Chains A and B, each alone.
Chain A
Amino acid sequence: MNYIEYSHEKAIFLRAFEEQLPVMIKGPTGCGKTRFVEYMAESLNLPVFTVSCNEDTSASDLIGRFLLKGMETPWLDGPLTRAVRHGGICYLDEVVEARQEAVVILNSIADHRRQLFIDKTNEVLTAPPSFMLVVSYNPGYQSVLRDLKESVKQRFIGLRFDYPTRDHESQIIHSETNCDHELAVLLADFGYRSRRMKEDGLFEGVSTRMLINAAKLLRGKSLNSEMLESALVDPVTDEPNLRASLKALLSVFL
């Protein structure tokens, strides 16, 4: 797996792993949070147990639950319990979306105790050294309404991600898609400039992920406006003025 480092995130992550500290990754959508976790897991030769959290994610979804099987009620471990039992990285994506009851159970596993309490089976699991808890979230759009409690946040080592610089982003686009260098530079510049409009009505700028998708769609093809718009305008906004602005900005491609 390929990952281009743009700060010291690898070293910090490795040190956190050595010291058995949990890591919290913050950053806007599509900036490489998940890719980084996958890359680090591969580097450390650890499995990743990923949970994409949403407003219905409960403690049972993380820890596990009893199932009905005939007249039996076997216990099924959730991803967090599996990671604690067998070692690996438990990655909770968009953790702030999860219910409070789900977030609170992280407290004991995220601090020095590194223990997971499973009340339904009356178990207390202690995490092995190969276990690491990683959570991520986007502190942008709903930060005031949905935020982690201080008591949870302060247990983590924070890694702040952002969209890369234009040079760096064009390298990423090129290495991910093997597209022309010129196309990668143009896409990176478009990404940078679209993010300037973020304060002006765009909820999120065009992400690195979107630029990579666009490069995949466009590589080796002659550029046409429909393809560009499908990749870079349609997913981000329906507002007529913003659409027209982004389309005008795309004119440099044609």
Chain B
Amino acid sequence: MSVSDTPQADVVLARLLVALANNPSGVSREVAIHREGGERNPAVTPFGLVISQSCREAFGTFFSSGEQRLSALAIAAHAQAHFEFSPLFNRMGRLKDLSLAVISLIEDARVEARMGLVVPKLSEVFARFLDPQKAKTIVGVEGQLAQIAVCLHLRTDPFENLLCKKVLSMMELVWRMPSILLLDQRRAFDAVREIGSVIANDLGQLRYRFDRSRYNVWPPYRDDNSGLWSDEKAEDLIHETVSQGKATDYSESSTPGLDADRDLLFFYDEWDSSENRYKAGYATVKHRGVHVTRMGAEIRQRFSSLITADAPWTKALRGHRFSFSDSGDNLDLDRTVERSIDVVSGVASNDRIYRIWRRRKFRAGILFLLDASQSANDRISGTFLSVLDVQKRALISLADRFSADAIPFGIFSFNSNTQDDVRVIAHKGFLTLWSDNERQSLKNLQAELSTRMGAALRHSGAICNGVLQQLAVVVITDGEPTDIDPRAPEYFDVDTHRAVQELRQSGAEVLCLKIGEDLRGRSAMIFGQSNLFCVNPKAVSPGLLQLFRKLRKSFV
């Protein structure tokens, strides 16, 4: 098994959450990795699930094993049970730690039972982990809690344990009342809370010591129940964990904006048309967002199945198609016979009987490069929308479509403030899911500064190095390149044209979607007439569809 064949636990769990959701319009949830190491239970948060690094690593290597798959299913199913049937962030009031643990334990059993009613045999999956023999081996109050967990699942007491009997008899009321179990989350949780308080009180009477900091929920597929309780500190921690976990793992920023500490610097040559030469390392690009080293790897991973020793992947995407002509070297026998028959029959014949082979190059992905310069803030006459709003809508519309067709695409935006400060934000990597986060990142984008397009294009080329010849780069802009350093207007046009040519020489297809009331302009010179799609901001759809069709044809 190659590295690229290794499934990623977070992606798999996120998909399982989607699959297990019972509400068809349910919110899809993310799975993030906890920023701190060590073994820990998963955590349920309103945003999704947080798993530990060790959990992810274990899955990463063992997904081929049945036990690991079962474990993934149990984790996702339990979390989904909470998402659907538990009220999250309940007030703790004056409940002690042990009470919280017991109530959470009973709530776990309740939501699992509820989930088991809608997913056949799921309760058997949970049962594999709730092994009475293992529960017996756990000592102290944790052992008592483990035995209660087993009893609640089995709805019988294999341990002859008085507390288990008590909790079962109290829960009998809940099991018997479908209105409580099935319908009203709040009432059900209130009932669970009362029962848990009584049982926790009994445990306290038995002089059990409970140390919250050392307590791990058993079995380990269950979440740590932090999401059940509204503890301000815990809540902050959860928020922090999710955002930090994501940032660490994906190297992404949820709120774009430049932060000097986190920018990666790149230096690019720029073509000086007045001196007719390249100025080495003249433009400085500050990159932030999706990690640059991931971009090429993502595309290679997407097409890994096409790569063989005989057919390197760069060739794998080359396809062929043929058309017919009335002259050529390769006679098509079927057509020739048909033509002969037509001639003999005296009916009009089709003379296009020669095959002409044409190479058709398939693209591996699309990189959208959005111009976020100040001019995009201009209002479109007669509307409340800015050009940037329309650009974003157009881009989101394209992204939705390509996402639905499982075509890899990345999204960058750029603007500049002289050659020393060209800012590029990577909002989405090629294989990153097109989720609410990416959409939000794009929606939060503000337009400012200028348009040093040549540097942004060269940067796109540089970070997609190695896969560039399979890419289509689509620049979405409202005008022509410019910047505030005093140059002749054609300076930026010529430099951008050069950058486009460089990309095309590398094999990329470079297109431009121009949105604005001033159509065409100098863009046709920069990108070429046939590669320029001009869209009136008041009627975007036709031009967008035209661009989509052109792009879509390039994909297998």
Q: A248–B71 Cα gap in the complex (Å)?
A: 8
The answer to whether B4 and A189 touch across the interface, beta carbons within 8 angstroms, is no
Min Cβ gap A200→B in Å is 5
User: Is residue A129 contacting chain B, with contact meaning CB distance below 8 A?
Assistant: no
Q: From A141, A145, A203, A252, give the contact of B122 (CB < 8 A).
A: A252
Q: Give the secondary structure class of B's interface.
A: helix
- Most B CB contacts (10 A, CB to CB) among A60, A197, A248, A251 go to A248
The answer to whether A193 and B19 touch across the interface, beta carbons within 8 angstroms, is yes
Min Cβ gap B67→A in Å is 9
User: Is residue A196 contacting chain B, with contact meaning CB distance below 8 A?
Assistant: yes
Known: A144-B552, A248-B73. Is A241-B11 also a contact (CB below 8 A)? Answer: yes
User: Is residue B316 contacting chain A, with contact meaning CB distance below 8 A?
Assistant: no
Chain B 34-70 interface mask (CB, 8 Å, partner A; 1/0):
0000000000000000000000000000010010011
Q: From A199, A238, A247, A251, give the contact of B125 (CB < 8 A).
A: A251
- Most B CB contacts (10 A, CB to CB) among A120, A194, A238, A247 go to A247
For window 303-341 of B, CB contacts with A under 8 Å fall at 305, 337-338, 340-341
The answer to whether A252 and B124 touch across the interface, beta carbons within 8 angstroms, is yes
Known: A68-B340, A144-B549, A186-B120. Is A249-B405 also a contact (CB below 8 A)? Answer: no
User: Is residue A65 contacting chain B, with contact meaning CB distance below 8 A?
Assistant: yes
The answer to whether A251 and B406 touch across the interface, beta carbons within 8 angstroms, is no
User: Is residue B121 contacting chain A, with contact meaning CB distance below 8 A?
Assistant: yes
For window 161-210 of A, CB contacts with B under 8 Å fall at 182, 185-186, 189, 193-194, 196-197, 199-201, 203
Known: A68-B341, A189-B119, A193-B19. Is A144-B545 also a contact (CB below 8 A)? Answer: yes
The answer to whether A252 and B121 touch across the interface, beta carbons within 8 angstroms, is yes
Known: A144-B548, A186-B121. Is A197-B18 also a contact (CB below 8 A)? Answer: yes
For window 468-513 of B, CB contacts with A under 8 Å fall at none
User: Is residue B345 contacting chain A, with contact meaning CB distance below 8 A?
Assistant: yes
For B337, what are the chain A residues with a Cβ–Cβ distance below 8 Å? 68
- Most B CB contacts (10 A, CB to CB) among A182, A189, A241 go to A241
- Give the nearest-CB partner of A166 in chain B: B120
The answer to whether B341 and A73 touch across the interface, beta carbons within 8 angstroms, is yes
Q: A244–B68 Cα gap in the complex (Å)?
A: 10
For B5, what are the chain A residues with a Cβ–Cβ distance below 8 Å? 240
Q: A196–B19 Cα gap in the complex (Å)?
A: 5
For B20, what are the chain A residues with a Cβ–Cβ distance below 8 Å? 193
- Give the nearest-CB partner of B301 in chain A: A240
Q: A73–B21 Cα gap in the complex (Å)?
A: 63
User: Is residue B439 contacting chain A, with contact meaning CB distance below 8 A?
Assistant: no
The answer to whether A197 and B15 touch across the interface, beta carbons within 8 angstroms, is yes
Interface residues on B, range: 35 or more
The answer to whether A252 and B552 touch across the interface, beta carbons within 8 angstroms, is no
Q: A172–B433 Cα gap in the complex (Å)?
A: 35
Q: A196–B17 Cα gap in the complex (Å)?
A: 10
User: Is residue A66 contacting chain B, with contact meaning CB distance below 8 A?
Assistant: yes
User: Is residue A230 contacting chain B, with contact meaning CB distance below 8 A?
Assistant: no
The answer to whether A249 and B341 touch across the interface, beta carbons within 8 angstroms, is no
Q: A75–B125 Cα gap in the complex (Å)?
A: 64
Known: A196-B19, A197-B19, A248-B73. Is A145-B552 also a contact (CB below 8 A)? Answer: yes
Chain A 203-241 interface mask (CB, 8 Å, partner B; 1/0):
100000000000000000000010000000000001011
User: Is residue A245 contacting chain B, with contact meaning CB distance below 8 A?
Assistant: yes
User: Is residue A11 contacting chain B, with contact meaning CB distance below 8 A?
Assistant: no
The answer to whether A189 and B120 touch across the interface, beta carbons within 8 angstroms, is yes
For window 387-426 of B, CB contacts with A under 8 Å fall at 401, 404-406
- Give the nearest-CB partner of B125 in chain A: A252
Min Cβ gap B324→A in Å is 12
For A248, what are the chain B residues with a Cβ–Cβ distance below 8 Å? 12, 16, 69-70, 72-73, 76
Known: A73-B344, A251-B73. Is A240-B15 also a contact (CB below 8 A)? Answer: no
For B121, what are the chain A residues with a Cβ–Cβ distance below 8 Å? 186, 252-253
- Give the nearest-CB partner of B5 in chain A: A240
For B122, what are the chain A residues with a Cβ–Cβ distance below 8 Å? 252
Min Cβ gap A17→B in Å is 34
- Give 13 pairs: A residue, B residue, CB < 8 Å, sorted on A: A66-B341, A66-B344, A144-B549, A145-B549, A145-B552, A200-B433, A244-B12, A247-B63, A248-B12, A248-B76, A249-B19, A251-B69, A251-B73
Q: Apart from A73-B344, A252-B73, what are 20 other A-B pairs with CB-CB below 8 Å?
A: A60-B338, A66-B344, A67-B341, A68-B337, A120-B345, A120-B347, A144-B552, A182-B120, A185-B120, A186-B120, A196-B21, A241-B12, A241-B15, A244-B12, A244-B69, A248-B72, A249-B73, A251-B66, A252-B124, A254-B70
List residues of A whose CB falls within 8 A of some B CB.
60, 65-68, 73, 119-120, 141, 144-145, 182, 185-186, 189, 193-194, 196-197, 199-201, 203, 225, 238, 240-245, 247-254
